[in-house]
Structure 1
């Protein structure tokens, strides 16, 4: 049998974890996490790491395996994930991958794009602007230079934003124009399943999840991480808003509303990214999981 990677994608809070576990149990397969926010062991509640019970129902990889103080890039993940998938395929022709981080999913299934070298001074200048004026002016600049990248990349992530801008400025071409390189050859075939719902349902599920995170102790988790707030891993939704609360800039109610708003924006970007992939077979989030398994078996 050909080696297969079953990739489960979709917006945050849509039910990817539950489906991936059902698939893993049915095919007696391991799960690779492609959720870049779940790599760090110091972050649990705000990143919606699967519960201990969920982790015990199937073998998971790349969950809380790094420290926030370690540097871990998408290139590092591509290398490690491909090696792990190859190892797992020696025991089982099927491996499950789950995650809503589009770039990390693409790194595994198709490989990363190659970008030309640009003048290092451009990045230094952009980082100075970032330090002085914050994200907003740089986000507006990217919107003007490359609307497609503005609508798909994680523009709240300073590293991604600066990277996209330095390519735009250094090449006089849109960053998104370089995202068309030939796919890398993989030793497996990929079946990609997408979960979706109407936008108002997605947004309502996100709001409920944020409220549940607060109930489950997100404030305490973030407070412990306050001394590390400048680390790149912590510059993410659910943490940066509460850092502002603890530093006295915002009220708690406002911080929570910002988490919900920014998570909704993140979900919109996820869908924009994934909907460009014509190889995804989409299912409504309420579709019976056995029906999805039946579809996968037909593909096999």
Structure 2
């Protein structure tokens, strides 16, 4: 019998977690998280990780299983997630995957792209430029060398920017030219389910979520992590802005407004990434779960 991975995608704050739990209960199966920010156990509030009640409602994998001090990347996640799927598919015909990290979703469903080896000195030089001039200069350089990559990667993440730039500089070709090559075969079929809404509503939900996070104690969470703010895992929306406040650079109100603005930008980039998959079945975020399951069952029966 064919095995199916139902991959739930969409912008942040759209309701992916809630849908994943409903589908996991419907199919009596487990959930794999492909949200790279929710891997870290020290980052609960700012990553909107599932609550204890949500975790109890369905078996989850790859939620807060790493520390911010651990070295963990998309390649390691791809290997671990595929091993987990191989185990789950021994007893289950359907597994749910949910997450807004497009690169991590693609790594599981399609495999990682193959990039050429480049001289390590290029990355070292780019890291020096980051420390000296900040990320804006590197962003501008990437925009000039590879506008396509600039418009799709997480441009606020210096690790991603430097990775794209080192490929551009080391190979003499755009980073984006190495994307979407022939991928590895998978022993399961993927059904991609997308949740969406009009832009104004998405932005409104994001602003609301940030306010709720602050009420839940995000500032206190960030305070405990301030000594480690140089770690790559913490160079992310919701944390870096509050570090600016704690360091005396910004007011609290301005930091919160920047979290909202940067999260909205992140959501826009998520949609740009996810829209590349023309096989995704898109639903309005308020669609009744019974309509979604009927669609999924019909796809399975057809195949």
Asked if 1:242 corresponds to 2:204, the answer is: no
> Which 4+ residue blocks in structure 1 deviate beyond 4 angstroms?
none
State the SS of the aligned residue for 1:5. Answer: strand
Stretches of structure 1 lacking an aligned partner (at least 5 in a row): none
Give the equivalent residue in structure 1 for 2:138: 138
Cα offset for 1:120? 1.6
Give the equivalent residue in structure 2 for 1:223: 223
Give the equivalent residue in structure 2 for 1:63: 63
Give the equivalent residue in structure 2 for 1:129: 129
State the SS of the aligned residue for 2:96. Answer: strand
Alignment TM-score, normalising by the size of structure 2? 0.98
Asked if 1:266 corresponds to 2:293, the answer is: no
In the TM superposition, 1:268-287 aligns within 5 A as: 268-287=268-287
Give the equivalent residue in structure 2 for 1:97: 97
Give the equivalent residue in structure 1 for 2:195: 195
Compute the RMSD of aligned alpha carbons: 0.6
Question: CA–CA distance in 2 between the matches of 1:197 and 1:173?
Answer: 36
Cα offset for 1:91? 0.9
Alignment TM-score, normalising by the size of structure 1? 0.99
Give the equivalent residue in structure 1 for 2:159: 159
What are the Cα deviations for residues 115-134 of structure 1, in whole angstroms up to 9, with x where unaligned? 01112221111111001001
What is the total number of aligned residue pairs between the two structures? 300
Question: CA–CA distance in 2 between the matches of 1:263 and 1:64?
Answer: 21
Question: CA–CA distance in 1 between the matches of 2:245 and 2:197?
Answer: 32
Stretches of structure 2 lacking an aligned partner (at least 5 in a row): none
Question: CA–CA distance in 1 between the matches of 2:43 and 2:119?
Answer: 35
Cα offset for 1:180? 2.3
What are the Cα deviations for residues 244-284 of structure 1, in whole angstroms up to 9, with x where unaligned? 10010000000000000000000000000000111111111
Query: Which deviates more, 23-32 or 115-124?
Result: 115-124
Cα offset for 1:172? 1.5
